[in-house]
Amino acid sequence: MLAISRALLQNRRLLVMDEPTEGLVPVIVEQVEALLARLAEEGDLEVLLIEQNIGVACAIADRVAVMVNGRINRIGPARKLAADVELQQRLLGVGRHGHEEDAAPAAADAAPAQAEAGPKLAKIFLSNPVRPTRWSQPV
């Protein structure tokens, strides 16, 4: 937030920000998002935002560019990317997960077949996979 303030004091025409919401609590992320949206609406300043948080990026930007391995893979309207969960999944690997509504009917249809086949298998996804130690909490 201090870096944003310093940049705004210099009255520049372009503000380049690299992941301004990284490591911030959600309440502060909302404040930064509102500030950037207001700056973009005023029109006195152009904002180039590099952000991994797709929600923030799509809320602020008119257009988004998706990078893959350091190269721009696709450029398009932010509204289209924000509204299309399938496109997010294809391009970014985010979107629907097994616990959402669409997974429930498929699980109900597969239940009789699984009961006959044997024990139910579960997938476990760890956000930060590290080898457990004797001090690790049980999963």
Asked if the structure places residue 135 within a domain, the reply is: no
Per-residue pLDDT of the chain (139 residues; tens, 9 = 90+): 788 788 888 877 888 888 888 888 889 889 988 888 888 788 778 888 888 888 888 888 889 888 878 888 888 898 888 888 887 787 777 655 444 444 444 444 444 544 455 566 666 555 555 666 667 666 5
Whose tokens are 């500030």? That residue is: 35
Rounded-to-integer distance, Cα 91 and Cα 57, Å: 15
Which secondary-structure segment (H or E) carries 16? strand 14-18
Collapsing DSSP states into helix, strand and coil, what is residue 60? Answer: helix
What pLDDT does residue 105 have? 47
Residue 21: give the domain boundaries.
2-97
What pLDDT does residue 74 have? 84
The number of beta carbons lying within 10 Å of the beta carbon of residue 87 is: 16
> Could you tell me if 19 and 50 are in contact, meaning their C-beta atoms sit under 8 angstroms apart?
yes
The number of folded domains in the chain is 1
The number of beta carbons lying within 10 Å of the beta carbon of residue 60 is: 24
Asked if the structure places residue 8 within a domain, the reply is: yes
CATH assignment of the domain containing 59: 3.40.50.300
Rounded-to-integer distance, Cα 72 and Cα 33, Å: 23
Collapsing DSSP states into helix, strand and coil, what is residue 134? Answer: coil
Rounded-to-integer distance, Cα 118 and Cα 16, Å: 56
pTM: 0.56
Residue 35 makes CB contacts below 8 A (sequence gap 6+) with: 4
Asked if the structure places residue 40 within a domain, the reply is: yes
